[in-house]
Amino acid sequence: MATIPYLTLPHSGHQIPQVGFGLWKVAPEEAANLVYEAIKSGYRLFDGAYDYGNEKEAGEGIRRAISEGIVKREDIFITTKLWNSCHEKERAIKTGTEQVEEWGLGYIDLYLIHFPIAIAFNPKHTRGWYYDGEGEVRLERTSIRETWEALEELHDKGLVKDIGISNFNSQAIFDIFTYARVLPSMLQIEHHPYLVQKNLVDFCKDQNMLVTAYSSFGPQSFLELPASFPTKAAQTPRLFDQDLIKSIAAKYGKTPGQVLLRWATQRGLCVIPKSNHKDRMLQNLDVIGFDMTPDELELIASLDIGLHFNDPGTYLPGRPLRLFT
Ligand code: NAD
């Protein structure tokens, strides 16, 4: 089994595995078994979200592995996220508390604000961007400060052990520093060779925060979405097919996927690839045992075109929310 290194979360001192398993687009009926299999393959970190709609089932998979003595609760690290329609303080506290119950494991290790934007809550459509479930994007006047203070209360209660943010830029994070009692330990961002985000990653290093990369394979994840979903994934060359990635993979006897994950971990980031296939699950976990040269890391970074695939400025055509400006 591959050995996973751990990084230390700056404010709590807790340990987080550098490689984990992502749960976006995992069907709820498959989640428990997939998570259980992932634990047997060696995964210890699971990355979920309210919006993914599979937290309860993912928790069941973990509890099964615990009940069979494969792991203990403290061996497992759960990251999950607060959805945009639950930013209002009382709702955020209620939602976070309910998410802890859904996972059924006593506490969440790391709780993130999913996006730096509040949208109105509709009890009929609690997931996704659309107020009516179809095409209406309705914003809500809730500040990030109000939401951050809700996360701090969940932290005070011991329900979440570390708190952080996702899809934020440095300006928004600087603002959090002006009032935070509990500092953010993690920023989770889209990160791959087409979106290197060097300044943002350096900013986090300066500020003593860790960074998790999502969608490490670039367009690949977005090709799974319905053809009607507006991203640039289909028009973008696959990173797996880039000659540079293929030649570096051949040199080290690794797959292109392993090169992409190692490129991120060598930059000091955590990665959370998702796969439903046992062989790829194992492959994605085995991404630490080789080191590329600094020149190779730079060459890979030179593929940067600043391209976000997960961009509500593109995929909400009726009301683009241009967060990444
Ligand atoms: P990913 O980059 O992990 O890609 C997944 C796709 O790559 C799937 O199609 C899978 O079949 C394929 N794949 C996996 N391993 C492979 C391999 N070794 N070789 C070839 N193909 C392989 O994409 P992702 O799911 O978008 O990102 C990972 C996780 O990040 C998500 O599951 C989720 O937990 C998190 N995430 C967070 C946000 C956020 O807004 N914070 C957004 C997107 C994803």
Reduced to 3 states (helix: H, G, I; strand: E, B; else coil), residue 160 is: strand
Residue 58 has pLDDT above 80, yes or no: yes
**125 carries a ligand binding annotation:** no
Architecture of the domain delimited by 6-309: Alpha-Beta Barrel (3.20)
Q: Are 79 and 18 in contact (CB under 8 A)?
A: no
Alpha-carbon distance of 138 to 100, in angstroms, equals 27
271: exposed, middle or buried (C-beta count within 10 Å: 0-12, 13-18, 19+)?
Answer: buried
Start-end of H helices in the chain:
28-41, 55-67, 89-103, 144-156, 170-177, 198-206, 243-252, 256-266, 278-285, 294-301, 312-315
For the chain, the structural domain boundaries read 6-309
Alpha-carbon distance of 137 to 155, in angstroms, equals 30
The pLDDT score that the predictor gives to residue 31 is 98
Alpha-carbon distance of 298 to 300, in angstroms, equals 5
Q: Tell me the per-residue pLDDT of 171-229, one tens digit each, with 9 for 90 and over.
A: 999 999 999 999 999 999 999 999 999 999 999 999 999 999 999 999 999 999 887 77
Sole residue written with tokens 């790391």: 110
Residue of 79, 114, 214, 259 to mutate, ligand 1, most atoms within 8 A of C-beta: 214
217 within ligand 1 shell (Cβ under 6 A): yes
Alpha-carbon distance of 9 to 109, in angstroms, equals 11
The pLDDT score that the predictor gives to residue 287 is 85
- The two three-digit tokens of residue 319, written as one number: 């009301």
Residues annotated catalytic, as ranges: 52
221 within ligand 1 shell (Cβ under 6 A): yes
**Range with lowest mean pLDDT among 230-234, 239-243, 262-266:** 230-234
Distance 206 CA to ligand 1 centre (A): 27
- Closest ligand 1 atom to residue 81 Cα is 41
The count of residues in the chain is 325
The pLDDT score that the predictor gives to residue 318 is 87
Distance 149 CA to ligand 1 centre (A): 30
DSSP string over 244-306: HHHHHHHHHT--HHHHHHHHHHHTT-EE----SSHHHHHHHH--SS----HHHHHHHHTT---
- The two three-digit tokens of residue 29, written as one number: 């009926």
Q: Is the pTM of this model over 0.95?
A: yes
